[in-house]
Structure 1
Amino acid sequence: MACDACVSDVFKQKIGRCKTCMWQLTVLSVVCWPSWFYFFYDQPTSVNSIALLFFSGAFTGLLTLHLLVLSWRKLTGRQ
């Protein structure tokens, strides 16, 4: 994902700094997890259920990584 604030496309430099990406991941996580519980909780072995579960986990995992790196950069003073 590219935004106007990120000059470089290097993932290592963008992680924890890209607010647009963090907001998008937050919205996707908030939408995907309740959708999975509402539509697929009773049938966890269907292909659609597994796909949505993996997408939800990926969105949440990447958001967690962004927040951990953001916290680490704030604590160490590296901006």
Structure 2
Amino acid sequence: MACKNCDTHWFWKKIGRCTRCMKQLTFLSILGWLVWWFGFRLHPKSVEAVALLFATLAFNGLLLLHLWFRFIQIPLRQKYRKQPRRKK
């Protein structure tokens, strides 16, 4: 990845901060569901349909994890972060 947040090596430091990753996951999720609906809904038990379904569910799960950290976890951390005490 090209963004500075994706250059770090630790997974939990990247999750929810990379908008490029979230845009790619959104595109892949929508594309996966559309391809599955128009191509495999009539034969949902075929190997290709099941593989595409699992891949699309993985994209959706990772996107939900990104969104959870982006809109819930990170703001809560910033809200409840301990403020340094001021010297009087």
Whether the TM-score (by the shorter chain) exceeds 0.5 is: yes
**Identity of matched residues, %:** 42
Which of structures 1 and 2 has the larger relative contact order (alpha carbons within 8 angstroms, sep 6+)? 1
Structure 2: give runs of 5+ residues left out of the alignment. Answer: 80-88
TM-score by length of 1: 0.88
Question: What is the RMSD of the two structures over their aligned residues, measured on CA atoms?
Answer: 1.4
Distance 1:61 1:74 in 2: 21
Distance 2:12 2:25 in 1: 17
| Letter paired with 2:12 | K
**Max radius of gyration: which structure?**
2
Alignment correspondent of 1:74? 75
1:9-51 Cα deviation digits (max 9, x unpaired): 2111100111111010001011110110111011111000001
Alignment correspondent of 1:39? 39
Structure 1: give runs of 5+ residues left out of the alignment. Answer: none
Q: Which runs of at least 4 in structure 1 moved beyond 4 Å after TM superposition?
A: none
